[in-house]
Structure 1
Amino acid sequence: MAGLAVSLRAVTKVYDNGVMALGPLDLDVTKGEFVSLLGPSGCGKSTALRLIAGLNAPTSGTVGVFHRPGEERAGHSIGFVFQEPTLMPWTSVRENVRLPLKLARAAAAEANARVSEALTQVGLAEFADAYPRELSGGMKMRVSLARALVTDPDLLLMDEPFAALDEITRFRLNNDLLSLWRNLHKTVIFVTHSVFESVYLSQRVVVMSARPGRITAEIRIDAPEPRGEEFRTSVDYAGYCREVSNALAPSYSGLPGS
């Protein structure tokens, strides 16, 4: 298992109502890789992410998440960014980011340093004392990202974090996320509905079928780093988007409205 961050083997998930959401699913993600899960609504992308995070248990199969030595405690090796920022409205940005460290009973001096570092990483150091109601949608998502980074996780799981944002803000956050990934050397698994976003961000796009979700294609995006607007407007980018779209198309056949 050397070099692996995540390994799923024959994983299925059947909910209590009898709906089979996933599987069987096999997936390996190497340490430091940026992988996007792409597929239609209800195909089990978010379910897979929650299984990896340990928030749910698979019905069958095995989920392996490989931690740094000594970092298995309290889930610190995994950071999770949800689709909604889920911030506490009654307290400041600083205290929202501090929450995971508070739950882990981290020493005050260490927590203060980590919170300051995380806010600097996402460009919000000057908004530490602001409240969520004073922030834009993109800034709220940056707070959510800082909260996920504050424990210095090996693995960052992101469940459609930019889906509700306008296009310009989304592009900017895509660029900032890539910069963080390059600088912090995290493993990222990113769930999205957007072909364009998946190609721009990822080293590998994993395409999933309609429910029950299975992997139907894996497309490696061999684009030079660092990526920027030159890549987003390039012939290579358009070609990759076409390839991913073609791989995704069968997942929508037979769905309502298709």
Structure 2
Amino acid sequence: MVESTVPETSADEAGLAVRLRGVTKIYDSGVAALGPLDLDVNRGEFVSLLGPSGCGKSTALRLIAGLSTPSAGTVELSPRGTARRGSHPIGFVFQEPTLMPWATVRDNVRLPLKLAHTSGSDAEGRIDQALAQVGLAEFATAYPRELSGGMKMRVSLARALVTDPDILLMDEPFAALDEITRFRLNNDLLSLWRNLHKTVIFVTHSVFESVYLSERVIVMTARPGRIGTEFRITSAEPRGEEFRTSAEYAAFCREVSNALAPSYAGRAGA
């Protein structure tokens, strides 16, 4: 059974944004992709899911977003803030920007509002705000073909933010970008998270990215994915290049890498 909200359960009372209990996913082919998985994510927390390909990280995001249904277990979202006019509890940033090539940046960002029948000055104000938040205000009339890979991903992020979601789900959004662009977007994402106070659940294959971004890194086991180890990244805020080059950062990365290694043991081509 899947519940899209938590009417009066302890999850909301406990300050949780997301609660998964006994969640499994078995596909029609018989492949057991996930679980059983128990996961609590606090409101305003930045959590990364880290693990090998096929361990169910993206599956977990899709279940939280309601894009797929679990084979067993419950998925609960806190209803906090979802009554705001034109708002939505979930924003999703996929691995690929999936922009409409015939539409301007502004019209690509407008799409969720259009689907929600939000129009007029409210919609225009939201679009302006989202573009400003990701640093693309000057590119509102550009087309995707005129943008770099990093800029396209910024459009995708703006499109996820335009409905003012409570929870932001991000599925390896920076994996295809060059290292310099990826570092810059990591910094910008952290700044947005601090300023907007969103709950972020971030899927990545990168130990270094997960440690840099997250308050908590969840290392998942090989398929079927379960929680193997959790790490709290207790560095001082705000994080910047000083943290990225620090001994503390290197030590966290080493610990997380060691915990991840068993998930890759015996995997051909890993």
**Cα distance between partner residues in 2 of 1:26 and 1:75:** 27
Query: In the aligned structure 2, how far is the partner of 1:231 from the partner of 1:71?
Result: 38
2:161 maps to a residue whose letter is: L
Partners in 2 of 1:195 and 1:67 — Cα distance? 32
What is the rounded CA distance, in whole Å, between the counterparts of 1:74 and 1:114 in structure 2?
Answer: 10
SS in 1 for 2:130: helix
| Equivalent residue letter for 2:204 | T
Runs of 5+ consecutive residues of structure 1 not aligned to the other structure: none
Q: Give the 3-state SS of the residue equivalent to 1:101 in structure 2.
A: helix
Instruction: Tell me, in whole angstroms, the C-alpha distance in 1 between the residues paired with 2:80 and 2:258.
Output: 38
CA distance in 2, matches of 1:120, 1:72: 21
Corresponding residue to 1:83 among 54, 73, 95: 95
**Superposed CA offset, 1:119-174 (max 9, x none):** 00000000000000000000000000000000000000000000000000000000
Cα separation, 2, equivalents of 1:257 and 1:72: 47
Give the structure 1 partner of residue 159 of structure 2: 147
**Among residues 133, 137, 140, which one is paired with 1:125 in the alignment?**
137
Query: Which residue of the partner structure matches residue 224 of structure 1?
Result: 236
Kept in 1: contact 2:49–2:204 (CA 8 A): yes
Q: Deviations over 1:41-73 (max 9, x none)?
A: 010000000000000000000011112255399
Q: CA offsets, 1:92-135, max 9 Å, x none? A: 00000000001111131100000000000000000000000000
Report if aligned partners of 1:43, 1:212 keep a CA contact under 8 Å in 2.
Answer: yes
What residue identity is the alignment partner of 2:108? N
Query: Would you say the 8 A contact 2:82–2:89 is kept in 1?
Result: no
State the alpha-carbon separation in 1 of the partners of residues 29 and 87 from structure 2: 29
Alignment of 1:14-163 (within 5 A): 14-71=26-83, 76-163=88-175
Unpaired stretches in structure 2, ≥5 consecutive residues: 1-10
| Aligned pairs for 1:201-212 within 5 A | 201-212=213-224
The aligned counterpart of 1:10 is 22
For 1:199-221, what per-residue CA distance to the aligned partner results, in whole angstroms no more than 9, with x for missing partners?
00000000001110010000000
**Contact 1:92 1:132 survives alignment (8 Å):** yes
Contact residue 85 and residue 141 of structure 1 kept, 8 A: yes
Cα distance in 1, alignment partners of residues 201 and 215 from structure 2: 11
RMSD (CA atoms):
1.3
Please tell me whether the aligned partners of residues 71 and 77 of structure 1 are also in contact (alpha carbons under 8 angstroms). no
1: CA distance, partners of 2:20 / 2:107: 35
Asked if the contact 2:87/2:164 (under 8 Å) is kept, the reply is no
Matched residues, number: 258
Answer whether contact 2:86 2:163 (CA < 8 A) is retained.
no
Q: Equivalent pairs: percent with the same residue?
A: 78
1:118 is paired with a residue of what secondary structure? helix
CA distance in 2, matches of 1:97, 1:180: 17
Does the residue aligned with 1:241 lie in a helix, a strand or coil? Answer: helix
**In 2, Cα distance between equivalents of 1:98 and 1:206:** 33
State the distance in 2 between where 1:122 and 1:79 align.
Answer: 15
3-state secondary structure, aligned to 1:12: strand
CA 1:92–1:257 in structure 2 vs 1: closer, same or farther (change >3 Å)? closer
Q: Aligned partners of 1:223 and 1:67: how far apart in 2? A: 30
* 1:37/1:73 CA distance change after superposition, 3 Å: farther
Contact 2:136 2:154 in 1 (8 A): yes
- In 2, the alpha carbon distance for the partners of 1:35 and 1:52 equals 14
TM-superposed deviation, 1:257: 3.6
SS in 1 for 2:190: helix
Cα distance in 1 between the residues matched to 2:120 and 2:66: 28
The alpha-carbon deviation at position 76 of structure 1 amounts to 1.0
